[in-house]
Structure 1
Amino acid sequence: MKKRWIAAGVAVLLAVAGGLAYAYPSVAATTCPRCYGLREVGDGVYGERHLTAAQREQLTTLAAAARERVGDFYGGRESDPRLVTCFTDRCYRRIGGGGERGIAVLDRAVMLSPRGLDVVIASHELAHVELHARLDGEVPQWFDEGLAVVVSQDQRYLGEHCRASLDGPLPETLSAWLSAASADEQVYARAACRVDGWLDANGGPPAVLDLVDRLDHGEPFPAALR
């Protein structure tokens, strides 16, 4: 009877794991990259099997540079998410990716598509994870996205883009952000420039650490930033 119960328990666990992999392949793939045919090519960095030596070096160099960029901004890192990467669209679709360049998964891993294998995209997604690792509460989605643009030094949305008017509300929820970004990608510029201006006026990166500390102690997100 005991063996029968054990067998039944194993069957349930397998069914749950199978359901998870079917419904949320990105969660399953970042939890067990090897289960999806990926291999570790560096410290916490996974890529397809049979990569060339040059491709493996590209990934490890990319990961190191992106981690350093985030660490430089924050004065160190409290997060260490796994990087799961694909050089082909077929690989990225298999692990649950879509049309994005990269995405953070449950704040414990980052997936990079063939279009996201560069320092800017990698550090953008790592910046999301780092902020969430430090923050017990929440910030508006536009602040989260704008800060990630600043940390990653994404010049597509900084510099001359900040000369335009930054007035007007920005999307505060994830669903509202996704809707706005799909209609006009330059919403990233508006968010990033607002964050960048706030940083310039408040002492740079330490202002983020101070904000996180205040939010973690129960203060509301500053009304002046909304």
Structure 2
Amino acid sequence: MPLIRQEGSRRGKRRWIAVAVIAVLLTGAAAVTAIWFPSVAATACPGCYGLERLRPGLYVEPGLPQARRRHVAEVVEQANKRVSDFFGGLKSSPDVLVCLSEDCYRRIGGGRERGIAVLNRSVMLSPRGVDPVIASHELTHVELHARLGGAEVPQWFDEGLAVLVSDDPRYLAPTGDRCLIDSRRPLPATLADWLRAASADSQLYAEAACQVSRWAEANGGRGAVRALMP
């Protein structure tokens, strides 16, 4: 009997050691994420970065006047409507994190961009991105990838579609042929190549939007985009 109790005790100690090691590793991983990937950490835990929940799925910088809180909610609602109208409904429900100051945006891992889709699951908006156009652009990325279910499209198509859905006047003509730049050349297909090229030439978005809008128009409009989804 003593031998049995001793063996059981050893197994129990080994189990606790394993649990402790796992806890340490998880804590270390969380710390690394918070330090090196604050945007991922912030979208996983907005409250940990000081953001307040305005409504389910929408988090804002704390201390905003009521009028600015209403404006943020209206912008996100308008952006969601644009995306929903294009796709015929929504399959995604990303958290949206909104900052009205640059300090707040830097704290949650933002940079010089107006907004960004984080891992195609959440959206962060900077003070310069609290606008239905920018918000719907980023929400389109999330909705598209939710519908693709793991399938991939070239990055130029992803970006061009986001411009088209958001109806961005910087890169689209108001009516008729939406092309501001008549582009027929091959465009960057990977995210890394796209970021590198777009950082040198912002009009790459207009080229991508031209190609996507012409492709959609030639193949049945919005229905052609929906038909791509598995």
Q: Could you say whether these structures have the same fold, taking a TM-score greater than 0.5 normalized by the shorter chain as the test?
A: yes
User: Partner residue of 1:159?
Assistant: 173
Match of 1:138 among 129, 140, 152: 152
- Using the alignment, how far apart are the partners of 1:25 and 1:71 within structure 2? 29
TM-score, normalised with respect to structure 1 = 0.89
Amino acid at match of 1:127: T
**2:206 pairs with 1:194:** no
Match of 2:34 among 21, 25, 33: 21
After superposition, the C-alpha distances for 1:87-117 in whole angstroms (9 at most, x for unaligned) are 1111111111111111101121000011101
Q: CA deviation at 1:209?
A: 1.1
After superposition, the C-alpha distances for 1:13-42 in whole angstroms (9 at most, x for unaligned) are 222211111111000000000000001012
- Using the alignment, how far apart are the partners of 2:53 and 2:197 within structure 1? 36
Q: CA deviation at 1:172?
A: 1.0
Identity of aligned residues (%): 55
Q: Please state whether the residue corresponding to 2:32 is helix, strand or coil.
A: helix
Q: CA distance change for structure 1 residues 127 and 163 in 2, over 3 Å: closer, same or farther? A: closer
Aligned residues of 1:45 and 1:59 also touching (Cα < 8 A): no
**2:157 pairs with 1:129:** no
User: Partner residue of 2:126?
Assistant: 113
Amino acid at match of 1:153: D
User: Partner residue of 2:99?
Assistant: 86
Q: CA RMSD in A?
A: 1.6
| Structure 2 unmatched runs, 5+ | 1-12
| Structure 1 unmatched runs, 5+ | 214-226
197-206 or 74-83, which moves further after superposition? Answer: 197-206
Query: In the TM superposition, what are the counterparts of 1:145-224 in structure 2 within 5 Å?
Result: 145-159=159-173, 162-213=179-230
- Using the alignment, how far apart are the partners of 1:194 and 1:167 within structure 2? 7
- Using the alignment, how far apart are the partners of 1:186 and 1:11 within structure 2? 47
After superposition, the C-alpha distances for 1:56-114 in whole angstroms (9 at most, x for unaligned) are 11111111111111000000010010001111111111111111111101121000011
Aligned residues of 2:181 and 2:210 also touching (Cα < 8 A): no
